[in-house]
Structure 1
Amino acid sequence: MADKNKTENKNENKDKRGKRLIRQIDRTFVPENTLALWHLGQESMVVKGSGMIAYIDPYLSNSIDEQFGNSPRNFETPISPELIGHADLVLITHDHPDHLDPVTVRAMAIASPHATWICPAPVVPQLAELGIVPDALIGARAGDMIDFRDMRITPIAGKHEEFKTDENGNHLFLGYVIELNGVKLYHAGDTIGYEGLVEALRPHRIDIACMPINGRDWKRYQDNLMGNMNFREAADLGVAIGADLLVPMHYDLFAFNTENPSYFVDYVHHTYPHQKFKLFAPGERLMYAAEESDEELELGDEE
């Protein structure tokens, strides 16, 4: 019995969820030129660096299934949103409910009242209706850089099957290039590849590219499920922009709109054998340290 209890305690300590995961995020020390990342499922991520904690597209409830049915989560949320009292910034890529979840937004608005929220400019009214005060809201426009404390954010237009804009030409689907603590991360949101995307991203010299791989097809489109890049397109895009590390997303949470990540692994392994990638378990942490640039290496050789 004692040995069994020891094994259970050991497994429990390894399983970072809920308050344990919150404590890990709070206590994680992030050195210079480093980012700490946690993947929470679907496209939900936590980013920490320079003393800041940012959440991206947090879907941390079961609200879609509760509202529409036939949409249960494949795994429990690693964090309940009412526990998140440490968020400095929340980024929303678009208004679909697995990215802008009303239940999560309302709970985080109460738990992290000091947080700033960034979303596509046309989506600002929706967040305001969910309790985000105007002073905490920033409407993002593709190509217009946003400086938030030590973070620089460049919104990138997303083409979620198609481009969608409001009457002022502001895109409803965005990705974000985030520059923080010497690391550059691209969170694509929901998008397919399109002409000009590589050219928009390559100058940023992306370190980490987080991209959907669930793809698209006629049946899902008929069911009003807008599509994304597939595993080949995501890998090809990541390599084309020169990303150091590729992170696939949007393949794990809903049985009706998923993909087998082993296809991504197999394709990268055989097509780009030197390309680094990372598959996350829900709630898993990654510490990413930016590599020295060619200029820094050459300077070091001269010294």
Structure 2
Amino acid sequence: MMSLSTVPFSGSLTERLAAPTAGGIRLYWLGQAGFVIATNRFRIVVDPYLSDSLAEKYRGKRFEHDRMMAAPVAPSALGPVDLVLVLVTHQHTDHMDPQTLMPIAAANPDCRFVVPRAALAAAQERIGVRPERLVAVDAGERIEPLAGLGVTAIRAAHETLERTPGGWHRFLGYVIAAEGARLYHSGDTIPYEGLVEEVSPFRVDLALLPVNGRRAELTEAGIAGNLTLDEACLLAERIGASDMIAHHYGMFAFNTEDPRVIDAKSAAADCRVRLHRAKLSVEYRLSK
């Protein structure tokens, strides 16, 4: 069984990412739902949002999207690496951001992008790469885009289980199997019937789950919500994960969770997983 440890670091994330990974798996939070997952063989980036594109889009609107935290690294500075894979869970801009993904693609010409088949057209437009660099998947499909790396797509409900007219799921999560470990990034989701049964057979070591919850005023405005902190902890427990990293907070003031609430939950008796709050300048080490 894998366990997670945390190591704060000084200096820039760019410097940290340039250093070799000596065994095990290292994770770094990029803010919102974004993570870098690094092994000694490859680097995976999930849902990076490293620009101010949403602040520009919604300036002067009811729900302004000014960043509460600066981007910890430039999109072009996620290397140097030998193999890069970017996983995108859905086409909302804080997960599929052209101002982030295009520079990543340009800086890493061998990088490929795993995207929902439901969002393939949007991915082609926003990433701007040749079709062979896009790997389209749907829920229930397993791919091995790199030797020794397995990725299985899981349904996500943001806030509903939506499908395209062609039957493709609009929102996905991913179970990532690498270096003897299994990680589950749920994407943006709320609980739905069958979710636990879908994920638990993978015997997940670490769950990366959103905790910003959902609010009626946001739902009415067309801004879909996510798991609450309590729901996320219960999901992690029910799928058998020993550790959970709480994320998708601290980016936009109108749609976040109080860090103090997350910290208090981690110490609460009813929290039956090891709960970690996603933090910048912290290296998360997953190892035996």
The change in CA–CA distance for 1:39 and 1:231 in structure 2 (over 3 A counts) is: same
Structure 1 residue aligned with 2:159: 161
* Structure 1 stretches of at least 4 aligned residues deviating more than 2 Å after TM superposition: 13-17, 82-87, 261-275
Give the match's secondary structure for 1:200. helix
* In structure 1, distance between residues paired with 2:11 and 2:145: 29
Give the match's secondary structure for 2:92. coil
Ranges in structure 2 where 5+ consecutive residues have no aligned partner: 1-7
Structure 2 residue aligned with 1:57: 47
The change in CA–CA distance for 1:274 and 1:233 in structure 2 (over 3 A counts) is: closer
Equivalent pair of 1:232/1:264 in contact (CA under 8 Å): no
Structure 1 residue aligned with 2:70: 76
The alignment-based identity, stated in percent, is 33
Equivalent residue in structure 1 for 2:236, among 227, 235, 238? 238
Q: What amino acid is the match of 2:72? A: P
Equivalent residue in structure 2 for 1:29, among 17, 21, 33? 21
* In structure 2, distance between residues paired with 1:248 and 1:15: 22
Please state which structure has a larger fraction of its residues in helix. 1
Pairs aligned (count) = 273
* In structure 2, distance between residues paired with 1:259 and 1:148: 34
Deviation at 1:266, TM superposition (A): 2.8
* In structure 2, distance between residues paired with 1:268 and 1:83: 32
Q: Which moved more, 1:159-168 or 1:272-281?
A: 272-281
Equivalent residue in structure 2 for 1:146, among 143, 146, 169? 143
Please state which structure has a larger fraction of its residues in strand. 2
Ranges in structure 1 where 5+ consecutive residues have no aligned partner: 1-12, 291-303
Q: Which moved more, 1:281-290 or 1:155-164?
A: 281-290
Residues 158-197 of structure 1: pairs in structure 2 closer than 5 A: 158-197=156-195
Structure 1 residue aligned with 2:11: 16
Residues 150-299 of structure 1: pairs in structure 2 closer than 5 A: 150-272=148-270, 275-290=273-288
The change in CA–CA distance for 1:274 and 1:123 in structure 2 (over 3 A counts) is: closer
Per-residue CA deviation, residues 156-184 of structure 1 (Å, 9 max, x unaligned), is 00000111111221111000000011110
Deviation at 1:274, TM superposition (A): 5.2
Give the match's secondary structure for 2:217. helix
Equivalent pair of 1:72/1:254 in contact (CA under 8 Å): yes
The change in CA–CA distance for 1:140 and 1:251 in structure 2 (over 3 A counts) is: same
Q: Which moved more, 1:255-264 or 1:151-160?
A: 255-264
Q: Which moved more, 1:35-44 or 1:256-265?
A: 256-265
Deviation at 1:255, TM superposition (A): 0.5
Structure 2 residue aligned with 1:135: 132
* In structure 2, distance between residues paired with 1:288 and 1:203: 20
* In structure 1, distance between residues paired with 2:20 and 2:240: 28
Q: What amino acid is the match of 1:190? A: D
Structure 2 residue aligned with 1:300: none
* In structure 2, distance between residues paired with 1:14 and 1:40: 14
Equivalent pair of 2:207/2:243 in contact (CA under 8 Å): yes
Equivalent pair of 1:30/1:48 in contact (CA under 8 Å): no
* In structure 1, distance between residues paired with 2:266 and 2:74: 34
Equivalent pair of 1:40/1:283 in contact (CA under 8 Å): no
Structure 2 residue aligned with 1:38: 28
Give the match's secondary structure for 2:267. helix
Greater relative contact order (CA < 8 Å, ≥ 6 in sequence): 2
Give the match's secondary structure for 2:124. helix
Equivalent pair of 1:50/1:181 in contact (CA under 8 Å): no
> What TM-score do you get using the length of structure 2 for normalisation?
0.90
Give the match's secondary structure for 1:270. coil
Q: What amino acid is the match of 2:135? A: I
* In structure 1, distance between residues paired with 2:77 and 2:130: 20
Larger Rg: 1
